[in-house]
A and B are shown apart, each in its own frame.
Chain A
Amino acid sequence: MNARLLPYVLILPVTLFLCLFFLYPFVLVAAQAFGGADGLSLDNFRDVVSYWKFPISLKNTMLLAALVVPVQLALALLMATMVNRMKKGRDLVLYIWTIPLGISDLAAGIIWLAIFEQSGFLNSMMTGLGLADGPVNFLSYQNPGMVFLAIALAEIWRATAIMLVILVAGIGLIPKEYYEAAEVFGASPWQRFLRVTLPMLRPSLQTALILRVVLAFEVFAVVAALGGTVMPVLMGEIYAYQFDLQNGGAAAAMALIVLGISIVFTVIILRVLRVPKGATI
């Protein structure tokens, strides 16, 4: 076959597939969201935004992302640097730390339900240690703070691994000579982390943050398993519009809002952590 045509033939299936199942659905979802009784309208958006649950679910989703993502970033950076200087048992520790990567958000929610539910392990522990007189119902309307905390913990537990993997791979790409040079000039471990690791890690940090932030706005099954209706989030509302209320237009409008938020944050992260041209390893 013609060598100039071959690459195009090879990428054709993916391109067609993504056009049909990635780009085209976006056109559809926009058409659905802006569609009204007669032509273009913003009715769906007006309905969705003025619904009393919208500000609460937006606030919950944002607060959750604002709490979870920085903690995960710090934790993943700590774990990645720890693994980096490990000599014995590195493979075992990495295996254990990346286990949550393969665990679905629904399963993670159920796992933390085992801890936080009324007859769960946290209550058993607290009663056993004499810290509480009897089981407390943590996941109820009376304890919205506790519900939020449980969901945040489950999210941190589940999704730190994806950042860890990206950062460990990124640290592996930094040439050892940089650290040796820094050491020769008397840089402390902390200074080496700040002046060598962090700047060199920028492309990986970018990828890790974009992936994590977009996923954080998609939080759904963990909340469904732990919070039920106590803590509404955006994706849960979309699901409710689609299924319980059978309102496809409103669901599409909400979807576009989530999409818009994701794009805004992706662009912000890309700009803030911009990699200067020619500065990659």
Chain B
Amino acid sequence: MSDTAVLLPDQGQTRKTGRWLYAASVTLLCAWVIVPLYFLLINTLSAPETVNSFPKSFVPEFDLGSLTFFAGFQGMLTALKNSIVVAFLTMVMSILIGAPAGYALSRFEFRGKEAFRLLILLTRAFPLPLLALPLAVMFIRTGLDDTAFGLALVHTTLAIPFAVLITFSLFSGIPVELEEAAWTLGCTRLTAFTKVVLPLILPGITASAIFAFVISWNEVFAAAVLTIENRTLTAFLLQTLGEAPLHLKFAGGFILVVPALIFIFAVRKYLFAMWGIANR
């Protein structure tokens, strides 16, 4: 059936239509992603009165009223600060705990390796935020309830499988011969690691740290279950969804989105490499 299409006299015409269709669909799919974000931007950069009025204008008026209202809202800035603290703790813990395991997976053959890999992969197939329920009880007993550290522990559980898999793929990308050469030149295992391997994978480690940060920054359910006084931004917004005015919701949503844009831009190089390796 393809042969007939190729043999048609107006082959060039079909080609042209095909290419036009292709470009149109790519543009359309880009618009599908960007236009809703643009609408959020319009609402964020409009005065509160405009946000609640009808009909809407399709260009922003560049009024900082909504954002000022957001910053002045009782408890909002504290929630923003809590979010940053929890995400930062998650980032540090998941890299410190996850990276050694990634190195072990890439460099050694050992008994129990498959079982360990299974444990890591298993965590991805579970609805992890549900763990917040039993942990809420455990944290009250240990005094970790309603603290940034307690929530960061749960978020680290979410981020660790990714940290292990990403670092695994990063270390696998560095030939073991480089390390061996360093050993023959008088390095110990540790100094070979810090002097040769670490500088090479530092950008990748940064990328996976950012990844952990965003996982925590975006998480809603566990944050809402585990914090009461020290709400994170997502938990705080969720709690106020019922009664909050529209302009507060949109400004809050906008603040949530900004780090995401930067994050995807910063890690775009690693995004695909890591998933490719993780599936082998």
Closest partner residue, chain A, to B219 (CB atom): A104
- Most chain A beta-carbon contacts within 10 A, residue among B52, B98, B164, B272: B272
**A67 in contact (CB, < 8 A):** no
- The docked-state distance in angstroms from the alpha carbon of A225 to that of B98 is 34
**Count of inter-chain pairs, beta carbons less than 8 A:** 282
In contact, B221 and A28 (Cβ under 8 angstroms): no
* B41 smallest CB distance to A (angstroms): 10
* B50 smallest CB distance to A (angstroms): 10
- The docked-state distance in angstroms from the alpha carbon of A113 to that of B234 is 16
Given contacts A104-B220, A228-B242, A255-B133, contact A188 B2 (CB under 8 A): yes
One of B27-35, B67-75, B195-203 contacting the partner = B27-35
Which DSSP category, helix, strand, loop or mixed, fits chain B's interface? helix
**What is the number of residues of chain B that contact chain A, defined by CB distance less than 8 Å?**
98
Report B128-146 CB contacts with A as 1/0, cut-off 8 Å. 1111011111100000000
In contact, B133 and A18 (Cβ under 8 angstroms): no
Which DSSP category, helix, strand, loop or mixed, fits chain A's interface? helix
In contact, B131 and A21 (Cβ under 8 angstroms): yes
- With a CB–CB cut-off of 8 A, which chain A residues contact B116? 11, 15
Given contacts A18-B160, A280-B280, contact A214 B261 (CB under 8 A): no
- With a CB–CB cut-off of 8 A, which chain B residues contact A204? 275, 279
Report A189-226 CB contacts with B as 1/0, cut-off 8 Å. 11100000000000110010011001001101100110
Seen from chain A, the residues whose Cβ lies within 8 Å of a Cβ on chain B are: 1, 4, 6-8, 10-11, 13-15, 17-18, 21-22, 25-26, 28-29, 32, 78-79, 82, 86, 91, 93-107, 110-115, 117-121, 123-124, 127-128, 135, 157, 165-166, 168-170, 172-173, 186-191, 203-204, 207, 210-211, 214, 217-218, 220-221, 224-225, 228, 235, 238-239, 242-243, 248, 251-252, 255, 258-259, 262-263, 266, 280-281
